[in-house]
Chain A
Amino acid sequence: MENTIALEARSIYKSFNDPVTVDVLKDVSFRVDRGEYASIIGRSGSGKSTLLYILSTMDTDFTGELLIDGIGVRNKTEKELAAIRNEKIGFVFQFHYLLNEFTAIKNVMLPGFKLNKVSEEELEHNAYGYLKDLGTEKLARKMAYQLSGGEKQRVAIARAMINDPLLIMCDEPTGNLDSKNADIVFNIFKDLTETYNKTLLVVTHDLDFANKTGRIIELHDGRVL
């Protein structure tokens, strides 16, 4: 039986203790099905980024239960969590975060090196394919720092795709882009869900963007509304 739930959060609590205890997330529970295009919105300080880092397994300091593809992330070692991130989650960040030391195509290939499932030639072929789908194949051999913001963001999306992950998480993907580029990115995401049947979880404060997604999860003062 195929597991139709991509990600499930069960009553997640998170608080910062420094300098005073602040509860950032209170009893957050929701699930995202496969192929869903969901956005998390909320005011600044509502804890949406914090939630994304927890969902991405990078932040393990929380209480509650998180299942990715039916696998609980509690009591997993740092190494196992890294493997889960590598295989099941693709990332797109607000600040693009390409590695400036590498060419665009190497940036895309890096998570594939870690997964080490296909040969380097095949990986390069796949990376080129994704870059082409995103209309950036001409940039493949350019160094990352030579690209413009919008180009970087598209290369970052290709990188998120390279290991054919279950989930793609985005932190303010359009936060640094103008509306034209933001539209391009939105359409790419839409394509991803429709053509590749990817599950997307986008954190944004851009209401226009959120309204166009399939589902909106709104956070207010650390609670899901």
Chain B
Amino acid sequence: MTRLGSGGLIDRSQQLRFTFDGKSYAGHAGDTLASALVANDVKLVGRSFKYHRPRGILTAGAEEPNALVELGTGTRREPNTRATTVELFDGLVASSQNRWPTLALDLLSLNQLLSPFFVGGFYYKTFMWPASFWEKVYEPLIRRAAGLGRASGLPDPDAYEKATAFCDVLVIGSGPAGLMAARTAARAGARVILCEDDFRLGGRLLAERVEVEGRPGAEFARSVEDELAAMPEVRIFRRTQVFGTYDGGTYGALERVADHLLAPPPGVPRQRLWHIVARRCVNAMGAVERPIAFADNDRPGVMLAAAVRTYVNRFAALPARRAVVFTTTDDGWRTAQDLIAAGAEVSAVVDPRREVPDSIMAPLARSGARLLRAAKVTRAIGGSSGVKAVEVAQGGSLLRIEADGLAVSGGWNPQVGLTTHKGSRARWSPELSTFVPGSLPEGMRVAGAVSGDYGLSACLRAGHDAGSAAAQDCGFAAASPDVPRAEDEPIAVAPLWHVTGGRGKSFVDQQNDVTVKDVEIAWREGFRAVEHLKRYTTLGMATDQGKTSNVVGHAIMAELTGRPMEDVGTTVTRPPHLPVAIGAFAGRHRGRHFKPTRYVSGHDWALRHGATMVDAGQWLRPQWFSAPGETDWLTSVIREVKTTRLAVGVCDVSTLGKIDIKGKDAGVFLDRVYINRFSTLPVGKARYGIMLREDGFVMDDGTTARLGPMHYVMSTTTANAGKVMQHLEFYHQVVWPELDIAMVSVTEHWAQYAVAGPRSREVIQAIYGTAADVSNGSFPYLACREIMLGEIPTRLFRLSFSGEMAFEIAIPARYGESLLGELLREAVGRGGCAYGTEALGVMRVEKGHVAGNELNGQTVVRDLGLGRMASSEKDYVGRIMAGRPALVASDRPTLVGVQPVDSKQRLRAGAHVLALGAATTAENDVGYVTSVVYSPTVGSWIGLALVKGGTAQVGTRMRAYDPVRNGDIEVNLVSPIFVDPKGERLHG
């Protein structure tokens, strides 16, 4: 154990048990998985991506490249979790990844011997030839050997959800700057949301031995938190990472609601994805420390200097008992002080600078540490269990200094990610030797280390000012300035990117195993732009997106090319700033709830009557009704068709779109959107209409009835109801705003049922009794009327999709189920039945009616044999474009019927039509089969097809070729109307 006896922000009274690679350990409440591993002296936590090199913990935050673990087991196993941000809980199970068979003995580390093949661009060089190896050999090989963790491969048992929050001021980060921004804005009266990725507020205040207003930093953070928590207009989101900046002041954030628990409590989602809409934002995300590249700088035990302070001060765990500090910043010297204060030994502080202020060195004067200036660490010596010694070059001589840990400080990289998501570029600051935010997204301010203000006092001041300004922008007067008193610690940095001369690999990007040499190879081979460097070497890819490595890599490229950093620049980052589970983006919309489901009034009724339901857009419709004893769908469908054609059938057609169109220009409007005329339609009559898109292709069809001089009701197909409404609104509001009409969807108000078959009139008459006379004379084909059924208004139409005599009756939806029951009772009494969409489809194909398969956006009215409907005496949407030569060409595929020559053979929709004997080539393709059904009336499978020459080809024999399902049969091209071609039945 390296746990200190006192101090830190852990609760020693709460012991938490956890396992890592099957071995049991204990930590405390307040630990992260990483800090608990440090406290248990576990140094080796993973194997690297390509070379399977042993790796330890490099950082104490979300930028961690190495300490990625698989968390949880079974369905809850999650790969690539950063141990440095995982909040420890009792029962946590973690394991290392990318090793085989065990972490300590990883046979795949033999990859290192192959390292000449793994250099920059190796994917493009090594796995080129032969091409037949790409999928069978190379890909499986790469996937097995190189990689991160394993997905569980099982359905995720947890729930995710999405939510939206609004505020005046969003504050990102709760370090000194963020806390001050939130407090100042909140005190001014603004609605504030404060997001903190950590489970505890305070940022670096928790990790440094600093004082604010004479109190320890963590205490100050707690006092601000308490104040904020008591303010009703402040919301504090802990465990919430803001991962993206979007347009219009919208920010994406992920709240890890229950990741710190063994499993989410009932009703609680595991994670919640927030859309935060903020009028102003104060970005106080801080900065992350960057390493220095030197030989074997990836040994377990090499850790960033600020991370060492975090483990020592916040978690009371010693990453090293005897440390060397390698720092090119003033800041790194504090690590040595903190280690010594915690009781560890510091063998040496190595600083490449010639001059280091006395004030910084003085506190270490009597510590026994060797203070080496103008010196560099050239190599970390040791094995897979960690650092054993450090090789240091000073003035031409090499020293070996014994140590079990090496703290490295190469300066700070502000977390500019969120400032660049909308396209602006980070700017190189020569003074700070780092990239700082460039132009900011509208509404965003930056405060504190994210903008290069590293000192504590500067952070507090900047946070205060940003919070105050943001609140003022939202109309809240800031209270009198109140900036707490604190010191600005020394922060000078003299950049050092890498150290040459050591024997061994010098890593720039530890997550992707990219070395200094790889950057050199990229340079030599011409991949010098930073974006090319990234793609060629993988520098800055994967889960950490180069948070610790990009700037070092780009600086090395700048050295190689001899260009200043301003010119070299840095890569563009896009959301998400940190990895987000796909499940969080899906939220609750998965499985059946991927999209909303629409239920007809008769849904439960249908289920009670043996219906199998089918998705029709968002709707669920009865597909067929299984009678007792029926076990296959075709039997049921055949019965339904036969029954309807012989007696009567009842079908729910409520899902068809219904639009009320009223006003004095309603007729004119319909004339313009339909190819045929409706202004002359008599009241009490319905007419079939077709509407086109402006490009001349068919958009939708349906029947429109005239219920009054200024009142039409249009029906649309189920699939296109929304699209048609939008189309009509477009022409009304944008194109012809002068027309005086009113349109509203009434799809939901009316349930509607088709009653079809020779005995349908009897059923309808029985329902209406004396309320209406529906005899042929009084209510002929295409009649419509509003009829009161007692107190209930109904609409009756004489329409037919099946080719039989048929009616459609509409009733307010609450009575739908009840009416269905009555209709079925009357129908059954006459030998009838209910039928579903399958039988509906069979009967419409038998009758040659087109539907969605034919109205597929690629057909014009002539293709469908409906050209004669188009009026030549008026303009309508799509008329001009439908006249284009290619759309009136005689060889366009047009509608025909198809029937297998051998009536036992199965025809398939999608089959291509070819001349007999023609080779099966695309050039010989003359059309395809759009719809296929088994027709009990004809006694075989029949279909509709779009075939070149169409009607002229009726009577010829062709081939229906279906290579997907091994179908290749001879078919006769016939008239598309298989049943009652003269239309006697529907007028009956």
Judge: A and B partners, yes or no.
no
Which residues does B use to contact A, with CB under 8 Å?
Answer: none
